[in-house]
A and B are shown apart, each in its own frame.
Chain A
């Protein structure tokens, strides 16, 4: 559904739509050490995904959704996130 931002951790849950991308980008820019909790996230829009790829924040928890977790692991592993 949405993102809960706190000082250090952003908690992403449900289905993140394209509208969330900008907020996420702002928060990550303002909190370079910010960490993400994705456990309750079932899908995130490609716009959010590319914000994560560009910002490379630390993930506290991977999504429990197995296929999303695999996609994110494959994508955020160091080899494939740079051209």
Chain B
């Protein structure tokens, strides 16, 4: 299984679990906006991810779920118990599919119906069908799709279908009505129809009368496709898995195929034949009956109704020699020249569609029980081949035998190697002998000399020339049969291949992340332990006056320090992961998006080997996907627009990863339309994100940064790509959470560059220790801009707020003691200077008044446990070398 899929499965499991939890929470507090938004976002992400793979059943259900949640979020639908039930059902179904994907690497198309049903149930809860999402007219039901009249099908097709059905094959009549706007979605329904598996017959048909040519809209699909196939229901569901609502399947009773047709007049009187045939039937002399029918057929013009009836009689005789009732009706029909009355027989066998499953089961049973029967059919084919080679029907007869033989061998699970060769030889020489010899050899169990493999259908097609008779579909059928067999063997190969791989020694060991985390924790404690040695050395010297011992401890400390640092580095290395892990997703994502949006995009990935901590890389995934989606949807233009702007037709999207000292930089650069600050300002104002004064005051860069504001969206219409308000604020938050920064630069008309800067690892945090009111605190170094000493006179009070001017900028000052509710004033040093720690919060700089600066240390930051975790002002705590606890501040929350 490829790593991408593996990751998808893992993520999907997590998301499903969270969705389940949220849904249950929502039952308790149905009005929680945050919960609903979160739930929507999860479903949205899961759907987006599933779209990267070929799991249409899953995506369909999730898409419906997403739309429903969107409606709930927009308050068009109220949350209800029933809604939760349906969503939970849908998620269970997705979960089932995930299990299946994990086991087999794909979803079984047999779920299509269930998926369709679930999606429909979800959509029923929606207030009105969204016209964008549902191109189909409301109430479109596969049952409304017209089907062709079986009698209109050419007789050779029907006879071939009869033989195959009798050999245990399924028989489905298909009506396929593509959506009228399907051409705009890049579909080619004709291509889809032509590749229906095991096709026997097919035709296209307009579903309304054609207008005058001048009024014809050639991009509005007005076609229905009809087809007759022997494929199983599962295979057909799989073939049409992307559009099950556009297809109607009808399982055909083979008896419905028996409709003789032709000229009813002009021929000898057949009363004699009918009487004789009935007698032979009574006498159980099937052979005699067959010979006399064949003789009469040879004498009659093939266009007559009678000939057609005789051909059917022979076809039935071949497969159901014991069905006396049916044979009698057929013979009697020859007398009256009216279609045989098969009504009461038909009702015996016909089942309502709902019971189709029973039919399938019955077929399967029949399948196994009828091996003997199949052998008998093969023997009959041999007899047919022994008949004299004459008449124009030879070619048709040979091919008819070939299809029957093929079906029989498929049914027996044996290969029909060499048959095509024998058949084509027979067709070229206009003699049944080569074919007969081959079949005889097969039936006798002798090894058949293997002919040189050749493309199957070609020689046949050549001999037929023009005009092509209808049976030409048949030669293509053995191919389908073969390819199915090949598929099965391929699956087996893969399985055995996997088994073979297992014992092979591998240089890569897969380790549970928890074990590495444990190592990480242990090394953290080791660092703390090691850091206590200098204190010990100091105590030895100062407290006990043992300088020698102190020196030795320090020497040992140096050694331990080196080893511990190397060890820490090594463990970090284990956790490092190349960013190519996330990059792998993009080529496919970009390709699919480009196709959906009708854009041309060249994706350039750079710095794939750049490494970062696993947690960081994983956290980056979701934001990066959002960013790429946004670039594709809003940034890059369509080829037309690009050409009009004198840019190359194909857009360029660069995703680059660079390591810069202890940080990873990710750049996402597109050469698209850029961001129009004016438009952003207007949209932000409309959405109430900024007020009128801000609207006039903010500069272009600040305006562009507004796209990171929660709830911002410029999209005019909801697409399934972006623009649903799950947007750049999510990116911002995700990056911010791990101590990263986002920078956005854009030039209208030229393109947009988004730069993410992230720490290489989250395991070790670099903090500066500061002191205030005789307590020490840590402040993360990446937030500190500078430390300055400032005389009290440089501090001014503007509107009761302390500020100072530093390097030409006005910086607000806040006392840390006030923020932490410590009732003490900042203590100035001997020169009456205050210590000011300038930190960056968002895009602003703020000065914190503290008492004293101390050293900078590397610590292992631990989140606060239990109830203390609610104290947002602290990022966590760490143990110092002397055993004291350092509380690390979180200035963002504190301010």
Contact = CB atoms under 8 A, between A and B. Distances in A.
Interface of A: 18, 21-22, 24-25, 28-29, 43-51, 53-55, 61-62, 64, 66-71, 73-75, 79-83
Interface stretch (B82-90, B261-269, B463-471, B547-555): B463-471
B218 A75 contact: no
B208 A46 contact: no
B152 A73 contact: no
A74 B201 contact: yes
Interface stretch (B184-192, B647-655, B756-764, B860-868): B184-192
A45 B219 CA distance: 11
Contacts of B226: 80
A50 B424 CA distance: 35
B218 A22 contact: yes
Interface string B661-696: 000000000000000000000000000000000000
Among B189, B204, B222, which residue has the most Cβ atoms of chain A within 10 A?
A: B204
B468 A44 contact: no
A35 to B, nearest CB: 16
B205 A18 contact: no
A7 to B, nearest CB: 18
Contacts of A54: 206, 210-211, 213, 216
B596 to A, nearest CB: 16
A46 B190 contact: yes
Contact of B208 (A29, A47, A83): A83
A49 B209 contact: no
Interface in B171-229: 178, 183, 188-191, 193-194, 199, 201-211, 213-214, 216, 218-219, 221-223, 226
B262 to A, nearest CB: 15
A80 B203 contact: yes
B206 A82 contact: yes
A67 B476 contact: yes
B206 A50 contact: yes
Contacts of B213: 25, 28-29, 54-55
A78 to B, nearest CB: 12
Given A46-B178, A54-B213, A68-B194, A62 B466 contact: yes
Among A28, A50, A79, A81, which residue has the most Cβ atoms of chain B within 10 A?
A: A50
Contacts of A80: 148, 152, 203-205, 226
Nearest to A51: B218
Nearest to B458: A66
Given A66-B476, A70-B472, A25 B205 contact: no
Nearest to A43: B191
Contacts of B183: 18, 45-47
Nearest to A28: B213
B242 interface: no
Given A50-B218, A54-B210, A69 B190 contact: no
B416 interface: no
A75 B202 CA distance: 8
B219 A21 contact: yes
B457 interface: yes
Contacts of B223: 46, 49-50, 53
A62 B468 CA distance: 9
Nearest to B146: A83
Given A18-B188, A46-B221, A71 B214 contact: no
A50 B457 contact: no
Interface string B474-485: 011000000000
Contacts of A45: 183, 188, 190-191
Contacts of B218: 21-22, 24-25, 47-48, 50-51
A44 B468 CA distance: 19
B270 interface: no
B698 interface: no
Given A46-B223, A53-B204, A82 B209 contact: yes
Given A18-B183, A67-B473, 4 more contacts: A46-B190, A49-B223, A50-B218, A75-B204
B461 interface: yes
B191 A66 contact: no
A53 B206 contact: yes
Closest 10 CB pairs of A and B: A74-B203, A46-B190, A54-B210, A21-B218, A75-B204, A66-B472, A46-B189, A66-B461, A75-B203, A29-B213
Contacts of B222: 50
A46 B188 contact: yes
B206 A81 contact: yes
A46 B457 CA distance: 24
Given A49-B223, A51-B216, A69 B472 contact: yes
A50 B183 CA distance: 12
Nearest to A29: B213
A65 to B, nearest CB: 9
A22 B183 CA distance: 13
A16 B466 CA distance: 22
A16 B581 CA distance: 39
Contacts of A61: 466
A3 B811 CA distance: 72
11 contacts: A29-B214, A45-B183, A46-B178, A46-B190, A47-B218, A66-B475, A67-B473, A69-B468, A71-B202, A74-B203, A80-B205
Interface string B218-262: 110111001000000000000000000000000000000000000
B468 A66 contact: yes
Nearest to A45: B188
Contacts of A69: 468, 472
B152 A79 contact: yes
Contact of A67 (B189, B203, B472): B472
B180 to A, nearest CB: 11
B221 A47 contact: yes
Given A51-B216, A67-B194, A67-B476, A75 B461 contact: no
Interface in B514-529: none
Contacts of A71: 190, 193-194, 202-204
A54 B210 CA distance: 6
B219 A47 contact: yes
Interface in B445-497: 457, 461, 464, 466-468, 470, 472-473, 475-476
Contacts of B461: 64, 66
Nearest to A68: B194
A70 B468 contact: yes
Interface in B686-713: none
Contacts of A66: 457, 461, 464, 468, 472-473, 475-476
A7 B65 CA distance: 55
Contacts of A83: 205-209
Interface in B314-353: none
A67 B204 CA distance: 13
Contacts of B467: 62
A28 B210 CA distance: 15
A75 B188 contact: no
Contacts of A67: 194, 199, 472-473, 476
Contacts of B148: 80
B400 to A, nearest CB: 16
A35 B786 CA distance: 83
A25 to B, nearest CB: 5
A48 to B, nearest CB: 8
A52 to B, nearest CB: 10
A51 B210 CA distance: 10
